Structure 1
């Protein structure tokens, strides 16, 4: 993987029509400011959703700016329903009620979940709400196909530890495997496995991850093994081996987007054809996901425990000996909250529903402040809407605050599906993320935190 998509991510996020000013950027050398303390997976700073899944404590204002992450739970996801899926703008950290968060357009078909990528979009990504600190995860998958179309099934940690399966749509007989420690590029980490027609045939793909090794399996057969003992870095005096709590993430993303770097496009098999037979027939590219099963690592002693409620870090070195299995809470009261003030915006607390200035709360779109406070369930308030408050959207088509006047918008202006009248306060944010210029969520997550193979 090449670490070269930060400019792309910033460019796409900066093109959003729902925000007047880009969020502050963050890195290991430039931490977030106190007023926007959480460094999201996209290396930008804010509050609310910025502080949940993907928040990097190493780049945030303080190590406790990020909200603690829900611990691992053994679970089988049938993927035959979207009842326990929420858009990122609707989730405040309660993993007991939500299994998957994401962005884009997941659909149901014949008892399976399709991740779709319509023309001129950046695809779809889903991530589990709980984290896995070692263990096994197995997924039944049919990949997408087509030049420039990439499917991903990965483990991805907040400090950018990563273990991958990825499929490039021009080679349906190969699945690529990869791993990274804290996002450090190493071209020797890749390995290819042979598979029979990944688009038309379901196969079971499995990652077995322990403190000592990673195994990649296809249909129950071990295809690759990487031992921790092989990853010692004498210069840094550490093991360059994934070792911290990670979410399961599945995605389809446009590696062949014409604005991507040439190296990305070449790796993805060429530029995407938005007028292909696949698009003409279905209206989108898609990958199909069947049952996904997570089995947590079984141990009574760290690393890898899951006895408490949440994980957090006690040192910015962010190695497995700095992870704490704790009973700290994981749920924000509103999108004004952070890891150091999780009750901010709670309507039950007098005077807490005000904010002196607007601040970014949803990566890629959504500002709260100046009296705008999203509701406790993530659906209320005008802070994440296209309403008239000072934290509202300043762009989009005049007929609907969730529509952009430039670029493709999928289901632009669609009425709310929760039985409402189409005035759901999240429509502006959700509409924006379907526009090519409005968000890079799926691209950035699909390439695992500003990396690409």
Structure 2
């Protein structure tokens, strides 16, 4: 048994290494253009009032706007509707007021991600109505397997809830309706080496991991095969609230360290004002959208690949998740199925 466990870990390492590749220019490897910044301290948009094209790109079609908010709808094989902010923030708070999509094999995600592959995630599976997964990555490092945590949530598909990420240089915390469910300290992320700490944009999307054309591992990970006769499968985003602790017109990586201390904060006039600070102005507790029954305690941990990588792979392959070789996804899916109690 112990031999098999070590074998799973070795193969999972390969799977995650291949999956974590979603950036157009990695500033820890070469000089890259500056990242566009959110120049204001706060940003809020109510999607029930319509789109905000000045601040968001639709990187994959399928997002529509109604009185229910931004609707990310999957109706057929290949659909992977996604919005991505046109700006980055450097430490702060991001709240998603939303309902995840129902449907076996349907994956909903709300993500912060940087150019050097720092990442902070929320992720929901359409067949799991009792839990939400939180996860993080630092500089694309995939050498540990204790990052993904499943936490209890009540009625995520029928009740609009406030899912908040509070991100500072010392800790990242996740909240559901104002209830703290997880804390990641800087030192606990490989002594800070794996801690997300560079300018991140916001990405929201859904995709079908259970598409029948996918390999078995991807289908198993997402909870089973998707039956498109049951479509549409819709995730609803009502509102996004952002506090940017370090407003800027852009952020420039001062070196290749990937450290927040190296980030140059460029002002509205194009001048470089200062190096980044620790960021702490966003520390207020998030407000509730609805009453949350669970205590917020962590119920278990499981390995999972980058949420952003999975969305990008779905988009690039027509929603069929073929950005990673099939054997790696089969290993990943099989391991998770064997180790997640809610799926047994």
Give the alignment's TM-score, normalised by structure 1: 0.54
Report 1:40-439 matches (<5 A): 41=22, 55-59=25-29, 62-64=30-32, 66-71=33-38, 73=40, 74-85=42-53, 97-185=54-142, 186-233=144-191, 239-276=193-230, 279=231, 284-297=232-245, 305-306=246-247, 308-327=248-267, 439=316
- Which sits farther off after the overlay, 104-113 or 320-329? 320-329
Evaluate the alpha carbon distance shift between residue 437 and residue 184 of structure 1 in structure 2; reply closer, same or farther with a 3 A threshold. Answer: closer
Q: Secondary structure at the match of 1:275?
A: helix
Q: CA deviation at 1:255?
A: 1.6
Does the CA-based 8 Å contact 1:136-1:207 persist in structure 2?
Answer: yes
Give the distance between the partners of 1:437 and 1:256, measured in 2 at CA.
11
Evaluate the alpha carbon distance shift between residue 438 and residue 205 of structure 1 in structure 2; reply closer, same or farther with a 3 A threshold. Answer: closer
Does the CA-based 8 Å contact 2:120-2:196 persist in structure 1?
Answer: yes
> Bigger relative contact order, structure 1 or 2, given CA contacts below 8 A and separation 6+?
2
Q: Secondary structure at the match of 1:249?
A: strand
Does the CA-based 8 Å contact 1:103-1:442 persist in structure 2?
Answer: no
Q: Secondary structure at the match of 1:240?
A: coil
Does the CA-based 8 Å contact 1:72-1:133 persist in structure 2?
Answer: no
Q: CA deviation at 1:252?
A: 0.5
Does the CA-based 8 Å contact 2:122-2:135 persist in structure 1?
Answer: yes
**Residues matched between the structures, number:** 271
Give the distance between the partners of 1:99 and 1:438, measured in 2 at CA.
17
Q: CA deviation at 1:220?
A: 0.8
Evaluate the alpha carbon distance shift between residue 5 and residue 190 of structure 1 in structure 2; reply closer, same or farther with a 3 A threshold. Answer: closer
1:32 aligns to what? none
Structure that is richer in helix per residue = 2
Evaluate the alpha carbon distance shift between residue 2 and residue 441 of structure 1 in structure 2; reply closer, same or farther with a 3 A threshold. Answer: farther
Give the distance between the partners of 2:164 and 2:44, measured in 1 at CA.
13
Give the distance between the partners of 2:159 and 2:100, measured in 1 at CA.
9
Structure that is richer in strand per residue = 2
Give the alignment's TM-score, normalised by structure 2: 0.70
Give the distance between the partners of 1:191 and 1:108, measured in 2 at CA.
31
Does the CA-based 8 Å contact 1:101-1:129 persist in structure 2?
Answer: no
Greater C-alpha radius of gyration: 1
Evaluate the alpha carbon distance shift between residue 313 and residue 329 of structure 1 in structure 2; reply closer, same or farther with a 3 A threshold. Answer: farther
Give the distance between the partners of 1:124 and 1:155, measured in 2 at CA.
17
Does the CA-based 8 Å contact 2:214-2:320 persist in structure 1?
Answer: no
